[in-house]
Homo-oligomer: A and B are copies of this chain.
Amino acid sequence: MGYTISQVAKKFDLTAHTIRYYDKEGLLPFVDRSKTGNREFTDDDLDWIKLICCLKNTGMPIKQIKQYIEWCLLGDKTLEIRRQMFIDHRKEVLKQMEDLKENLKTIDHKLKCYAKSCNISPNTRQVHSL
């Protein structure tokens, strides 16, 4: 059977427009069509889209994801370079997590300040700088 574009869209919280855009950009060369020309997604296709969303949501540009898909199409001779891509990308994800942690500290510090400012009686409130 398979899934229609809007079923897939719903599943991944995308729009059908976005999926067609990804297809146009070369991210979905594996998706087959029905006799009438409609895209028909298989469960395997969903796995591919899940991976594409993972890469996209961790900041990889569409062009680089496309590059990866192209490497996949070239078969085993690109295994090593694909693996290296994931090693590199993993590093970037770890960096993002570190950065988020640092920024969370700043936000928590700010929240402490606001907790103070908001709890003391109005007439003794400090004037916030800026």
Contacts and interface: CB of A to CB of B under 8 A. Distances in A.
Interface of A: 30, 44, 48, 50-51, 54, 57-58, 69, 72-73, 75-76, 79-80, 82-83, 86-87, 89-90, 93-94, 96-97, 99-101, 103-104, 106-108, 110-111, 114-115, 117-118, 122, 125, 127-130
Contacts of A50: 106
19 contacts: A44-B129, A48-B130, A51-B110, A54-B106, A58-B100, A58-B103, A58-B107, A75-B128, A76-B117, A79-B125, A79-B128, A83-B117, A86-B110, A86-B111, A86-B114, A90-B108, A90-B111, A93-B107, A97-B100
A44 to B, nearest CB: 6
A58 B129 CA distance: 23
Given A80-B118, A118-B80, A130 B30 contact: yes
A75 B107 contact: no
A109 to B, nearest CB: 10
